[in-house]
Structure 1
Amino acid sequence: MTTKAANSLERVLAVLEVFSEERLEWTSEELMERLGYSRPTLYRYLKTLKEAGFLTSTPNVGFTLGPKVVEMDYLMRKSDRLILDGSAQLKGLTERYSCTALLVRWYGDRLLCIDSESSMRNPLTSFPRGRPMPLGPGAIARSIMAFLPRRNLVPLIECVIGELQQVGLGANIEEILDHLKKVKRAGVAVAYGEVTPGVVGIAAPIFDAGRSPVASVGVTIGGSLVDGALIAQIASDIKTVAHDLSLSLARGRL
């Protein structure tokens, strides 16, 4: 791919990136103002995305995400080895504990739940499948961050240091790094009410053939349902699940 083609692709993808939970609809005028594209360029990109099904438009409303996104989500569920192998593991966790179990992918600078199971009438999670999670607080984020190389980790900490300080991870970067080293040694992260009040989160990282984490498996459970011994038991089970899924992903890359 030529540099020009690569740049054009990045600019097309940038159109999709502006859609979020906070902003689900955009007019062409708003997109031009946000992205800084000329009218002919933007209209060309919008036409391409509409024809491919990634966007749809409604008169007097604007553009929203289109049906191709749903189609690709279906294909992902059918092909993602983490979902295929992890679904049974999540069910096993929810059969043993009254909890919500989640698989979360780490990509770019985002954490995204890709699958979940719950044995509770009202699942104890603020982030169902498809909703990005915060990078700072919570066991899921910590289980990923603790295993990142320092060169990648420090810039992340700098971006969310205020949130990490609020949940008591440390007063500065070095103290936060020390805390994350303890998480790495333990192989599992535990958080108390950091993302959802009254809920304990427990999570462990998942690796593929590489040394950096690509995902995390976690459990959220009501704080009133657990004590130290039960948290330790759940943590042990989650580490086992994470290890098994890591082996499965590594084998899939051979």
Structure 2
Amino acid sequence: MKATGSTSSFAVRSNEIDYRGQATLPSLVSYMHEAAWDNTFTLGISMYDLLKHDMTWVLQRMRVEMFRYPEHSQKITVATWASGRERIFMHRDFRIYSTNQELLGQATSVWLVMDMVKRQLVSLPDFITALEVAPTEEPLPFAKGKLPQLQEAAYEEQIPVRWHDIDLNRHVTNTRYIQWALDTFPTELLEQKQLREIDIVYRAEAVLGDTVVSAVAPADEENVYLHKLSSQETGKELVQAKSVWRELEI
């Protein structure tokens, strides 16, 4: 049985921080994706390995919890491991550590395989299911259940999909949706609160030339907000999310 975990190290760069000097959540999720890429490359199941078969990985759901945000130039380590597998799903977990092993944040995610020609989801291919998943750490609880539906937007933005929003799969990269969801908040909220947790479900892809409508509204619970990103052209829901915030001490 082959261990499926590994670690990758990063230093927070100046173009990845907010006005407080702390790493933004999209930047931290990018680190997680990079660590996952390194890990899957070692295991022989990377996106490049799938592309040889006209297939690719797509993210279906991700829940991120942040306990403390690293600051500019701070070095961090991202541990990641394949934590489980089902017929069409691969589960992957992440933990972010400081240099003194403080747990800064953690995430759980669900991945699927897409046929690049048909643009349809397919079962995990044999060379992936043949991999014995031996988690190097205790799996985090899966993000399960449906998220509450946003009924009426309190804030809304229309965002055209441009060239630099597109990734190797020729659709909007998943961190961009997180950025768009957060950018829809008014500045006053972003200045007074800090994101503690986000649970995001990816339902459909947007491509170059589309316009994405990002909507957000408060949920019934305090400091909890619901998000919906949809296609302006078709009305199709692209992304659904729930974010949880903490009040900042002034």
**Which TM-score tier does this pair reach, normalised by the shorter chain?**
under 0.3
- 1 or 2, which has the higher helix percentage? 1
Q: Which of structures 1 and 2 has the bigger CA Rg? A: 1
Of structures 1 and 2, the one with the larger relative CO (CA 8 A, separation 6+) is 2
- 1 or 2, which has the higher strand percentage? 2
Q: TM-score, normalised by structure 2?
A: 0.26
Q: TM-score, normalised by structure 1?
A: 0.25
